Structure 1
């Protein structure tokens, strides 16, 4: 029987505890995602991603091999440190992870992403610019961040004109309209309603005018008689 050194046993136990630790975090604040088109570059879609809690960055850093596994404790707690976001943000492994887990497509055309430098990952999140083959109007954005650690994670997403969606395991893809179409639709519906109201009011005025004309003619005939 092989006896492991205490240090090796501690590291092994920490690694084995990772799934338990991951299970404890989806119950916290959800990730947030915002989707928008660049006003100056109509072919660029900008996605901003932010974790729900900074300890999620520690968990992600451990899973990417950027932080030591013993930072996730046996009871599932995460030993978060203020330097963790900077360690994660500065790694190419993290950028590759975002580009792998967040994708943008314009129909059948894939948009190429580039992660911007982030100096405040825990507070401001990460920004990714996706350049599409041409100007975009509707895009499909898939978000799978952290669900690879635990499927219970969710991401609350927002887009132009009040569009909203919730991403999760099995619901990791959503279509976003970027050119203000929802507002146009709403305006057209409003205009249609206004036309219908105007028609009803106009019809009522015509009927009232007819009644007044008939009444005036009757009075005139009586006066002549």
Structure 2
């Protein structure tokens, strides 16, 4: 218990760092995931190829390797001075977007083809059909897998601690290296992660109930 009280500012900083990383990466992943899902179901072959390549590459790339590329290679070639926090958000967001894309694409596939044909018959473009007709109907199906994806994202933020980003698991390593009891440290860090993951789960359950009422 003393290790928490004696280092409360450090734990608080790590906790807020994990929340910030999770939130920023989730927004980036959601935007990219929906866009790439649109590419994957597009009638334009180059867009379908791009979407497939994006998902295949990122889903089969280890997240640690992606962190290395974004942290060391990208700044050297494209964006000099890229901060470790931004690099972590980019790596986590891009990686998670591939899973979001597949969840959204699966949801799109549950919507009847007749819906899209009806939209096209009244002159809607593909992207209008996707935005106005398909995605709103697919949302109910997509929410449960998205909840699991964003909970996994929260756990993946632990990798950012090895790349000079302040987050919970980095706090654990710092205090362990200083010789504090590792059992107590892991206990408080695990409880903090549970708070974040239960919050995400609760938000998605609330969204699911809201959509069920609107059905």
Report the TM-score range of the alignment, normalised by the length of the smaller protein: under 0.3
The TM-score normalised by the length of structure 2 is: 0.25
Q: Say which structure, 1 or 2, has more relative contact order (CA 8 Å, 6+ apart).
A: 2
The TM-score normalised by the length of structure 1 is: 0.24
Structure of larger gyration radius: 1
Higher helix share: 2
